[in-house]
Amino acid sequence: MTTPRKTRGAGRPKGSSGDATRQRILVGARSCFGARGFGATTNRELADAADLTPAALYRYHDSKLALYMAAVDAAVAELAPVLTEATLNQPSGRAELVALAEAAAVLHEQNPGLAAFLSSLPVEMNRHPEITEAMSAEPDPVSLLISAAVERAAREGALAPDLDPGDAIEMIIACYIGISMWAAAIQQTPRSSAMCAYTRLLEGTLFA
């Protein structure tokens, strides 16, 4: 006699609210996309991660791209308020940049999946033009915070006079991405020797 195979219901699990289901979908999508990438992740894997059928998942997000962008929006919404608060009442633009780095490291340490997912975003944008197009529809609040801090530092005379602030902004964003990717790849928390060295770079104490 065989044991009947357990099947998943057509909709959300019994007793689950719509909001809880949406949150479960986004958390599962972040995990799947962060681990396997946009291209390799299947709709079946996304549905399984949320304990739904693919048909039920489709009722919440009508395409894999729509779900990916919803996961990006949710991750940024989690990150941006923490970083915004970190920049408040800082005495200088340079101090804002240091505070941003430290706050991002703490948040990523508390939620490693966040770092793995967001750090993969530039790679996914390079591989999938549809993600780049979707990302261009609205500004990135984290980049805006970095830009504001650098521009403040420039007004305060903290940047070298021959350095274009735009170049400094791109360099700092690249450092954020690189440290996050490195931390995710070796499964080390961003509050590591590399992050300490980066904050010293911002503070001007890295080199003797």
Nearest partner of 101 among 182, 180, 168, 207, judged by Cα = 180
**108 vs 35, residue with greater confidence:** 35
pLDDT at 12: 47
pLDDT at 116: 75
**Residue 175 — pLDDT band, cuts 50, 70, 90?**
confident
Q: Is the full-model pTM beyond 0.85?
A: no
Read off the pLDDT of residues 187-207 as tens digits, 9 standing for 90 and up. Answer: 655 556 777 888 888 888 999
In the chain, count of helices (H) and strands (E)? 11, 0
pLDDT at 186: 66
| CA angle 196–202–207, rounded 5-degree value | 75
Hey, what domains does the chain have and what are their CATH numbers? Answer: 10-62 (1.10.10.60), 73-203 (1.10.357.10)
pLDDT at 188: 58
Rounded Cα–Cα distance for residues 198 and 191 (Å): 10
pLDDT at 49: 95
